[in-house]
Structures are given as structure tokens and as C-alpha cells.
Amino acid sequence: MKIAVVGGKGGTGKTIIATNLACTFSRRKEKTLIADLDVDNPCVLNTIKCIKTTLVREEQVLRLKPRIDSSKCNLCGRCIQVCPEHALALIPDKGVILIETLCGGCGCCVLVCDQGAIVENYVPEAIVRYYSTEFFDVLVGELVPGYRRSYVIITKIVEGYRDFFNKYDVVVIDSPPGTGAGVFSILKNSDKVVVVTEPTPVGISDFVKLLKLLEKKFNNKKTIVVINKSTLNESLTKKIEDMCNRNSLPYVKIPYSETIVYSYVKGIPLTIYEKTDREVMEVFYSIVEKLTGK
Ligand code: SF4
Ligand code: SF4
């Protein structure tokens, strides 16, 4: 079972909830992987600093970066015409140049150049690291600094690692914030969705956007809402609850708790921290029960 943990905005507590769900599943003896696909800013490892992690494997995700050999180029312009990203340009005195930040690595230019003037060249665009811990395994995808196509990397990982994910009973995917193409790709490749929101005006506005995406593209299926820090603003929490009820979405509330802040700062998952409030612990077991039906 693949579970996407999504949240409209950063700072809602999405990663903490993803980590603690992974912990809860592993305590139920289910073989669990947490996949950190917030590739611009992965921070799952920060939330489990107290757990010993062992790096098992590291892989590069490569992308095509065409190299232009101007000595072979006859300036026919075919590559410029076919480039879907407008990443090639003809500059007087320089010939054809590549605007690297626009190139999506599709390879069309290599195919159309009959002079052999565009050569295939691969560079790392992201690193995928795989760790083991005593509780669950961790996969972290991280963009190489300077690259911006996070959705391409996220899609490559969720689709390219499908067989690897299938070796686990449960894969909890920590998604990037927002409703962008990367989140869409994760939702498309997941069985269940946990939407994390909070009772703030921005939290509600982003929650509405996520609900629209889920309803329009995924028919609201398999979704559970977590209202984090619910005691911070009772009236906005009530507003979120009303929205959930109108959309027939199950929800749980996690009260604001000093324990959660402490566990975040110290990198101790709540579900293994002995001082965690019983009420908070029960929320995680209740989410898991709602996800699994048992
Ligand atoms: S298709 Fe090849 S030969 Fe034509 S302009 Fe592009 S690089 Fe030059
Ligand atoms: S690889 Fe694709 S996107 Fe990049 S320059 Fe070539 S045609 Fe354009």
C-alpha cells in the first residue's frame, strides 16, 4: 500500500505526520518504507535524528544534457525548430547554443541532427539515497543544487522505483507542499492519501485547492484529512471539519502539543518518545486504522 502524505503549504507538520505514520506501521510489524520525495528540501532524516540510520545505497538520477559540437554544425536550424522547451538558439558568431535551464532532456535535438553535431551527454540531476533503521527503511530523493525540475525527478522516482516500493507492505510518501505536478504524480501513483492541514487562513485556502485537485482528478477516493494543531483556532478547525463532512471525508484532529514541538526539535518520532501524550499517540493509531480498515 502506497500512502501519499500531502499538505497545501509548508509548515503544516506533513513530514512529522509521515514519519510517525511510518513508525506506527512498523510497530504493527509491517515492512515499512518512508520515501522522502520533497526533493527540493527533503527533511525526513531531520525528524528521526535520534534513530541510528545506515546508508545502504546511493544512486544518481541522470538527465540528458545535449552537447553541441559546433565544428560539425551546418546551422540548418532543425534542432531549434523541434525543441519543445525553446532551449536552443542561434547566436550570430557563436552558432547554436543550449540554454541549459530550459532544457528538459527530451533528446529530440539529438534525433533530428543528421550532422552528428549534437552528442548525447548525461549529468546527475538528483541523488537517491537509501537507508535502513531499526524501525523502517528510508529513501530520500534530493535534487542536485541548481536543478529546478523537481516534478520530473519525483515522477522518475515514483515510477522508476515501483518494483522496489512493491517489496514493502507500506510505503509512506512525504510529498512536497502545494498542488504542483510532482504532487499530482505522487497522488497518481498512490493507493491512499493523507491530507494534512491546519486551522489558519492560509492553511484553509491551500486545503481547498488540494480538495479540488483530489475531487476533480481522483474522485476524493481513499482520502483522510488530518487537522494538525487543531486546538490553535477552534472556529477555523470547525470550518475544516464542516468541509470534510460536506465532502464525506474522514478526518482526525491532532491537538497543539508541546510534546510535538519537542519531538520535532530533538528528532525523536512521537510514536517512540515515552513522554508523548496518549491522545496524540491514539491519533496515529486511528489514522492507520482508517487507512487499513483494521
Ligand atoms: S540540427 Fe545539427 S546541424 Fe542543424 S543547426 Fe542543429 S546542431 Fe546544427
Ligand atoms: S534535449 Fe530536448 S529540451 Fe533539451 S535542447 Fe534538446 S530538444 Fe530541447
Q: Domain segments of the chain: what residues? A: 2-62+130-292, 66-120
Q: Is the pLDDT of residue 135 over 80?
A: yes
For residues 102, 178, 195 and 208, what is the CA-based torsion angle, rounded to 10 degrees?
-130
Which atom of ligand 1 is nearest the CA belonging to 75?
A: 5
From the CA of 82, give the closest atom in ligand 2: 7
Determine which residue's CA is closest to atom 6 belonging to ligand 1: 79
Residue of 70, 79, 109, 120 with the most ligand 1 atoms within 8 Å of its CB, for mutation: 79
Apex 176 CA angle, 129 and 235, nearest 5: 140
Mutate which of 68, 82, 86, 106 for ligand 2? The one with the most ligand atoms within 8 Å of its CB, which is: 106
- pTM of the predicted model, to two decimals? 0.87
CATH architecture of the domain formed by 2-62+130-292: 3-Layer(aba) Sandwich (3.40)
What is the 186 CA–ligand 2 centroid distance (Å)?
25
Q: Does domain 66-120 have CATH number 3.30.70.20?
A: yes
Q: Given a cut of 90, is residue 271 above it in pLDDT?
A: no
More confident residue, 147 or 293: 293
Q: Is residue 91 over pLDDT 80? A: yes
Report the atom number in ligand 2 closest to the C-alpha of 107: 1
Contact 112, 82 (CB under 8 A): yes
Q: Where is average pLDDT lowest: 110-124, 217-231, 233-247?
A: 217-231
CB 191 within 8 A of CB 77: no
pLDDT at 176 over 70: yes
